[in-house]
A = this chain, B = another copy of it.
Amino acid sequence: MATAPTLEQALTDQAAQRDAHLIEWLRIPSVSADPTHRGDIQRAAQWAMQRLVQLGLKAELIETSGNPLVFAETPPVPGGKRVLVYGHYDVQPADPLHLWNSPPFEPAFVDGNIVARGATDDKGQLLTHIEGLAAWLATGRTLPVQVKFLIEGEEEVGSDGLEQWLPQHAEKVACDVVVISDNSQFADGQPAITYGLRGIVAFELFVEGPASDLHSGVFGGAVLNPALALSRILASFHGPDGRIAIPGFYDSVRALSPQEREQISQLAVDEGQLCRQLGVSELFGEPGYSVLERRWARPTLDVNGLTSGYQGTGSKTIIPAVASAKFTIRLVPEQQPEEIAKRVERHISAVAPPAVRWRLERGHGAPGMLARIDSPSIAAASRAIERAFGKRPVLIREGGSIPIVARFQEVLGADCLLLGWGLDDDRAHAPNEKFRLADFHRGTRASAFLWEELGNVC
């Protein structure tokens, strides 16, 4: 009878097989936005469940109002931590197809990367946790924590099924910490743990003037131009220095602690390089904060789209009947979407000229997230990542929003560890999406070490 391998041996032994699993899963075009892929959605969910069953987990498909959830768990560990791994098996549409260098659902190896839709977002990153567990289980040792998997199929289309299911099944997925790998390292060669996300609240503002477009010669001077009125309102959202000028907007925003500012300032940002990357001559934002602080830890307001009047070539001399703007506010975790929406509405009431009508429509909203950075879980994850990547991860926040993270915190009372194995240039949501194979394997090792490290902190 052969001796059971060590964890290191198992991780090495399983490498080729791990690639094969990744390829198999990526071949299934589980595009959630396109109803013609409904069968593929089912196949991708089945694939994940079968893989977890292979590992000996108790696994099931759970029907929801939308696409099924995959749930699986290892046996409870008395006195041990419970970890919930969350991820998604659905992928973005592959369009525009002609911009792909190889077919999106025929995974290709290019320059040390695997290129396919879903490679980094999220099949490849999620699979590291399944494969990390596989290596652990191959050692024959007892897993020191209980690992649960909750894998959904609607992340790219709003997570409705999971959102409805979660509050009624909090006990089933109860855990001490949620682990998610669906984002990026800080930089190439610098792994990170993300402990904070911004929230979001989306709006569309319509400013209405005359009942129909008017001739700007005949009626110019008679009525207030809705596009000009909209511009005035939008311009009133900020002071000229870039600070948001909506009254009370910063009331609930906590000042960044000197420690956190110090920690963020340690992270090198080459502003010249960032300007070149973004194609701007200078960076801009709220005064008194560094660009990382502004992107991660300060609220911002951005217009996402403007629409009014004539948009074709040449000119059409009209006073447009309507002008509208889509805009989103990124919130710090202390700010609640409801509260901010009220302040925005009140501000517009105060500044909108009476000669036009206006209407503010609310879009989606989700609060931000901020995990304790001195928690034993973060310390354990940090050690696991350092062992796998050979470099201590930095602690970062991110400017984006992951609504389900706030829901986990609210419903389960559990902090989330966002362990991104991807890179900023992985082209998630774009043609030629990729995931570096070295990061796929390092992520798997970090995951395997994580179960061990989390066991040590109990």
Residues of A within 8 A of B (CB): 198, 200, 202, 204, 209-212, 214-225, 227-228, 230-232, 234-238, 240, 242, 274, 278-286, 289, 291, 294-295, 298, 300-311, 314-321, 323, 325-326, 328, 330, 353-357, 363-364, 398-401
Contact = CB atoms under 8 A, between A and B. Distances in A.
Q: Which of A228, A234, A319, A400 has the most chain B CB atoms closer than 10 A to its own CB? A: A228
B217 A285 contact: no
Contacts of A218: 295, 398-400
A205 B319 CA distance: 17
A310 B294 contact: no
A371 to B, nearest CB: 18
A159 to B, nearest CB: 15
A328 B320 contact: no
Contacts of A298: 221
A222 B279 contact: no
A219 B278 contact: yes
Contacts of A310: 304-305, 326
A279 B315 contact: no
B355 A282 contact: yes
A304 B315 contact: yes
5 contacts: A218-B295, A218-B398, A227-B305, A227-B325, A284-B355
A234 B231 CA distance: 6
Contacts of A303: 225, 227-228, 231, 308-309, 320, 323
A330 B225 CA distance: 14
B222 A354 contact: no
Given A220-B328, A222-B285, 4 more contacts: A221-B298, A309-B326, A310-B326, A314-B363
Contacts of A291: 221-222
A35 to B, nearest CB: 18
B311 A307 contact: yes
A349 to B, nearest CB: 15
A76 to B, nearest CB: 37
Contacts of A238: 228
Contacts of A230: 231, 306
Nearest to A184: B218
A306 B439 CA distance: 44
A225 B353 CA distance: 24
